[in-house]
Copies of this chain bind each other. A is one copy, B any other.
Amino acid sequence: MRTIELKTATRTSRVHVGEGLGDLSRWLPAGRCVVVTDRDVLALHREDLPACPTLAIAAGEAAKSLATVEELYEALLDLEADRGTFLLGVGGGVVSDIAGFVASTFLRGLSFGFVPTTLLAQVDASVGGKNGVNFQGYKNLIGTINPPQFVLCDLRFLRTLPEAEVANGMAEIVKHALIADAGMFAYLEENAGRALALEPAVIERLVGDSVAIKSAVVAGDEREAGERRKLNFGHTLGHALEKTLGLPHGEAVSVGMVMAGAISVRRGMLSRKGFDRMARLLERLRLPCAAAAPLERVADALRRDKKRAARKLHLVLLAEVGRAVVEEVGLEELEELVAGHPEILRPAAAGGSP
């Protein structure tokens, strides 16, 4: 077991990697606990959950809405939850985003913790304090930044994950290595097969390294004024591909990273050798390095993303494997860069999305 501390302005958050759900009671505060989970997790892991009142939301991104939040407020009222009640979110990123937001706003803030059940949630969603819901088609438009008291990463949950879910997490693991840790990247190159097979020792190291990298970045910049933007490596274009093509998050981020890598090479930052190492590792982890995309619709999605994010777009590029740099680019320039790499984004007709 490895514990990573994340100190922010308001709290010290602790992530326990490799701890079993059976030892949850070591971390739960005395007093009342309510579990928030989703119906899929409940069906798979009902016996493993602690013996507390359990609120199960629908599984999937569509549940990430204010309507679900209101349902949970009502359920907490029915349970006569008070300020001493502890909320435990058990599930993937949707569950932790909603449970974190409900905990941050019910009675102006309950204490809460997470047990992430997907690789993506363990290495990304449950760390860093961002929570919230979608609104009017905008992802995470409503939310707060408020880290949980603890996160317990039980690696045994990962055994029941479908392959696409493993890929989602793996893309973020590669991202963490690429932006901040050349040693971790080399470890991934040496152990790609064992990582894909979810070998416990390898996965514990990779999840722990990922959490440590994200925690260090967040600790220095909780509200994303600078350093935290590096965590968006591959995500600007990735989000546009996710929206336009309906690509799974991991695949979209993988193509987004390759694109950002290619732009880094073109700007004379990343070496060709570094780019090739990245592409080869992604392939070995069964992540895509290219996609067929209707470029006009991708450009539309980028514009929409920009409108809500800020007046200027910050693109994360690589100076080398293990070191990211944030650069400001205009939207037009980004569109040109995207269109100028047909080996990565192959032009496709609009309407060709799955």
The answer, yes or no, to whether A223 is at the interface (CB within 8 Å) is: yes
Which of the residues B66, B70, B73, B141 comes within 8 Å of A107, measured between beta carbons?
Answer: B141
Residues of B within 8 A of A136 (CB): 73-74, 77
Tell me the smallest distance from the CB of A226 to a CB of chain B, in Å. Answer: 13
Residues of B within 8 A of A1 (CB): none
Residues of B within 8 A of A135 (CB): 73, 77
Please determine whether B104 and A144 come into contact, CB atoms closer than 8 angstroms.
yes
| Complex copy number for this chain | 2
Please determine whether B142 and A83 come into contact, CB atoms closer than 8 angstroms.
no
The answer, yes or no, to whether A23 is at the interface (CB within 8 Å) is: no
The answer, yes or no, to whether A106 is at the interface (CB within 8 Å) is: yes
Nearest residue (CB) in B for A133 is: B105
Which of the residues B83, B108, B144 comes within 8 Å of A140, measured between beta carbons?
Answer: B108
What string of 1s and 0s marks CB contacts (under 8 Å) between A307-337 and chain B?
A: 1111100000000000000000000000000
**Which of A7-41 touch B at CB < 8 Å?**
9-10
Which of the residues B70, B144, B145, B310 comes within 8 Å of A84, measured between beta carbons?
Answer: B310
Residues of B within 8 A of A311 (CB): 82, 84
Q: Given A66-B66, A70-B66: A144 and B83 within 8 A (CB)? A: no
Which of the residues B105, B144, B145 comes within 8 Å of A142, measured between beta carbons?
Answer: B105
**Which of A271-312 touch B at CB < 8 Å?**
307-311
Residues of B within 8 A of A163 (CB): none
Nearest residue (CB) in B for A223 is: B109
Residues of B within 8 A of A82 (CB): 307-311
Instruction: For the complex, give the distance between the alpha carbons of A70 and B327 in Å.
Output: 35
Residues of B within 8 A of A48 (CB): none
Residues of B within 8 A of A223 (CB): 109
The answer, yes or no, to whether A132 is at the interface (CB within 8 Å) is: yes
The answer, yes or no, to whether A220 is at the interface (CB within 8 Å) is: no
The answer, yes or no, to whether A47 is at the interface (CB within 8 Å) is: no
What string of 1s and 0s marks CB contacts (under 8 Å) between A136-158 and chain B?
A: 10101111110000000000000
Instruction: For the complex, give the distance between the alpha carbons of A39 and B223 in Å.
Output: 34
Q: Given A10-B9, A77-B138, A105-B105: A83 and B309 within 8 A (CB)? A: yes
Please determine whether B108 and A145 come into contact, CB atoms closer than 8 angstroms.
yes
Instruction: For the complex, give the distance between the alpha carbons of A311 and B85 in Å.
Output: 11
Instruction: For the complex, give the distance between the alpha carbons of A84 and B224 in Å.
Output: 12
What string of 1s and 0s marks CB contacts (under 8 Å) between A69-84 and chain B?
A: 0100110010010111
Tell me the smallest distance from the CB of A231 to a CB of chain B, in Å. Answer: 14
Other 13 A-B pairs with CB < 8 A, given A10-B10, A105-B142, A109-B223: A66-B66, A73-B141, A73-B142, A74-B136, A83-B309, A104-B144, A105-B132, A105-B143, A107-B141, A108-B130, A108-B143, A108-B144, A108-B145
Chain A residues engaging chain B, CB cutoff 8 angstroms? 9-10, 66, 70, 73-74, 77, 80, 82-84, 104-109, 130, 132, 135-136, 138, 140-145, 223, 307-311
13 CB < 8 A contacts A-B = A73-B142, A77-B136, A77-B141, A82-B309, A84-B310, A104-B144, A105-B132, A105-B143, A106-B141, A108-B130, A109-B144, A109-B223, A144-B144
